[in-house]
Amino acid sequence: MSLLRYDATTNDWVIFAPERARRPHERAVRSEVDRSAQAAIGRCPFCPGNEHLTGPEIFAVRNTEASTGWQTRVVANKFPVLRIEEDHRRREEGTLYRVMGGCGAHEVVIESPDHDRPLAHQPVEQVEAVLRTLQVRFNDLLRDARFQTIIPFKNHGEGAGTSLHHPHWQLIATPVVPRLLRLKQAVATDYFDQTGKCLYCVLLADELAFGERVVAQNDHFAAVIPYAAHAPFETWILPKAHQASFGWMPAERLRPLAEILKTVLLKLYNGLDDPAFNLTVNTVPRGDEDKAYFLWHIEILPRLTRTAGFELGSGMSINTVLPEDAARSLRDVEVT
Amino acid sequence: MSLLRYDATTNDWVIFAPERARRPHERAVRSEVDRSAQAAIGRCPFCPGNEHLTGPEIFAVRNTEASTGWQTRVVANKFPVLRIEEDHRRREEGTLYRVMGGCGAHEVVIESPDHDRPLAHQPVEQVEAVLRTLQVRFNDLLRDARFQTIIPFKNHGEGAGTSLHHPHWQLIATPVVPRLLRLKQAVATDYFDQTGKCLYCVLLADELAFGERVVAQNDHFAAVIPYAAHAPFETWILPKAHQASFGWMPAERLRPLAEILKTVLLKLYNGLDDPAFNLTVNTVPRGDEDKAYFLWHIEILPRLTRTAGFELGSGMSINTVLPEDAARSLRDVEVT
């Protein structure tokens, strides 16, 4: 059972997910799935044949009617940080403090039956199936009116915090809009109020005109390393036509998105020797799907450096690689 | 040569410090000091006898007039992320972008001549000398009117991003107020405007009255795990009397601060098996030293978990240990 507490010094909610009844310092290591069960059986719960080891199946893409196998598979996270059964109403504790139940959802999207093949090396059809699966789950979760944002993300590699090798994504639905998204929303709304334009569309147009920070592009998407990237090789993939929500992306854009995502992941894989990375889908909170201020996009953060005291204490990032240098180096990476 | 670029999507400055003329992906690993020089010579630049390996000495505490040795020593960081020679004036680049020179300062405080003894195991007199050294440098750096905030911090252990084993602190002076500090300032100012009280003094009074999240205290300071701690065993040390700036702490408080800091670090060391941690001093930006809205304090963040895609994408923290459980477990740790 988890809960959310309000940080009165940063106007922010923190999720508390004390999962097991062990001693506190042992609980400090978080697990995405039941690793003890996995270790006991010696089998991967995400591999075909071990479907009974996961939480209940929520959704799957299956190849053909004749086939009994699945192409992608969505299951409930066995140790969710948030879940639908919890109470999302706020309660006050004393004068400063507020708490609410850990209401939300936490799903795992198993990318493919392949235990060892990273997304960069999947056929583009499989990448497309993963993106379609994510969009289906994203839109379905939004039907629960208590959820304010749905965050699809992927952790690749131990350095990026993943504990399970079999490639997968996750979706977390939150009962509040997280602070960072509120900040981006406020900044972009302010820009829109001043100029009548979408900040991210202007940013993308500027990057395409300048060219030196562009990593790859096709007719519908562009991959750029932003002017003020917060970490080395941080790469964004943005649609070329305005669209506020990932959930509203037309079905015919899934293929070109799969193509550019595969290209970028391959360039990172080949150019940086399979780095650990975190990938998140940035999109508007519930109800802003038709708004003009925001452009949904993917952010990929390779974990090449470690944040230390200065960054944690100030919130200010130190980036050791200029975006122009990083983009040039990724443009030069062969991906055939 | 470093520079700062403005992130128009988060209203935030990012420091770019491309240090060496290597290929970009090799530059991604940041070093605090010249590790190649260190490796070549096989000696620690922070150890007595190797003083010529560091940048110029800025300050030192020496034991007695008779002694030639030093107790603490402050040197310029050999590969500073910011430095005083750079131009702090903003320039516009196109419609969205702004840049400024990497103006600031970056100093290293060598804790003691001991290569292997962590701060927790230093005599309290030595901890006091370190804190006095930090305060002297903090106040001296503030004399440069271009610097908006001075951030003293310490990284302990590889998992906390340190690259040099010999115990040390750092101070970074920034030409802008970092976003996270602006946020805390805004939240606390708003609270003060509403209530006429310092948010952190109220928070501390509540914690002392409740008691269950208190780790340790003496007459002048208390160590607590805050109600909405963002990470397991995150511990704050706060003065019991209102004081907005670390620089203005009276000299007679250095000893009780050293005592509680040593106690907390020992409890973490013994209770969590010498965890990597980041420690930062939170204090007001330039000019707010006499203000009533903020209470300076130390934040210690053990690095027990790894932030992953959800936290990075949303800014929302997931904490796997309830503050009451963490505080109880640290209270029980013997530190004799």
Active site residue B165: no
The reply to whether B317 touches chain A by the CB within 8 Å rule is: yes
Query: Model confidence at B42, in pLDDT bands (50, 70, 90)?
Result: low
Whether B282 contacts chain A with CB within 8 A = yes
pLDDT of B39 above 70: no
Query: Both A68 and A140 in a single domain?
Result: yes
- Domain interval for residue A269: 180-331
Q: For chain B, what is the domain count?
A: 2
Give the domain-ending residue among A134, A150, A178. Answer: A178
Instruction: Confirm whether A336 is domain-assigned.
Output: no
Share of chain B above pLDDT 70, in %: 91
Residue B29's pLDDT band (boundaries 50, 70, 90)? very low
Determine the pLDDT at residue A174: 97
CA angle B57, B29, A325 (to 5 degrees): 110
Of the partner residues B188, B230, B316, the one whose CB lies closest to the CB of residue A178: B316
Q: Is residue B150 assigned to a domain?
A: yes
Please check whether residue B292 lies inside any domain of the structure: yes
What are the pLDDT digits (tens) for A78-122?
888 999 989 889 999 988 999 999 999 999 999 999 999 999 999
One domain, residues A96 and A171 = yes
For B98-156, the pLDDT digits (tens) are: 999 999 999 999 999 999 999 999 999 999 999 999 999 999 999 999 999 999 999 99
- Between B323-331 and B254-271, two packed helices, what is the crossing angle to 10 degrees? 100
A95 part of a folded domain: yes
Residues A113 and A187 in one domain: no
pTM of the model: 0.93
B336 occurs within a structural domain: no
What is the structure's pLDDT at B94? 84
Do residue A164 and residue A32 come from a single domain? yes
Let me know whether B126 and B263 are in one domain.
Answer: no
CATH of the domain at A245: 3.30.428.10
- Residues A15, A137 within the same domain: yes
CA dihedral of A58, A63, A66, A68, whole degrees rounded to 10: -40
The mean pLDDT of A206-233, rounded to a whole number, is 97
B198 close contact with A: CB closer than 8 A: no
CB within 8 Å: A318 and B17:
yes
Better pLDDT: A140 or B1: A140
As a whole number of angstroms, the distance between CA A216 and CA A151 comes to 25
Q: Say if B82 falls within a structural domain.
A: yes
Separation between Cα atoms, residue A78 and residue A150, nearest integer Å: 18
| Shared domain check, A171 and A200 | no
Examine the domain organization and report whether A214 and A148 are in the same domain. Answer: no
Q: What is the pLDDT of residues A134-188, one digit of tens each?
A: 999 999 999 999 999 999 999 999 899 888 899 999 999 999 999 999 999 999 9
Helix (H) or strand (E) holding A265: helix A254-271
Among B127, B151, B178, give the residue marking a domain's end.
B178
> Is there a domain that residue A280 lies in?
yes
The one catalytic residue among B168, B220, B230, B242: B168
- Asked if B174 and B192 sit in the same domain, the reply is no
Residues B268 and B229 reside in one and the same domain:
yes
CB nearest A280 (choices: B151, B281, B309): B309
| Pair (B165, B283) in one structural domain | no
Residue A38's pLDDT is what?
Answer: 52
Boundary residue ending a domain (A144, A161, A178): A178
Determine, yes or no, domain membership for A63: yes
Lowest mean pLDDT among A264-268, B78-82, B152-156, B177-181: B78-82
Q: Mean pLDDT check: name the lowest of A135-139, A261-265, A306-310, B152-156.
A: A306-310
Q: What is the pLDDT of residue A43?
A: 84
The half-sphere exposure of B159 on its side-chain side, counting CA atoms within 13 A, is: 12
Torsion of CA B29, B33, B34, B40, to 10 degrees: -100
Q: According to DSSP H, which parts of B3-156 are helical?
A: 24-27, 35-41, 124-141
Sheet with B277-282: list strands edge to edge: B57-62, B70-76, B105-110, B168-174, B149-156, B277-282, B297-302, B235-239, B221-224, B214-217
Contact B155 A11 (CB under 8 A): no
SS3 B170: strand
Whether B296 and B259 share a structural domain: yes
Mutual angle of helices B179-195 and B199-210, in 10-degree steps = 80
Looking up tokens 């039941």, which residue turns up? A34
**In the structure encoding, which two tokens stand for residue B185, read together?**
């300032």
Cα B287–B289–B294 angle (5° rounding)?
Answer: 115
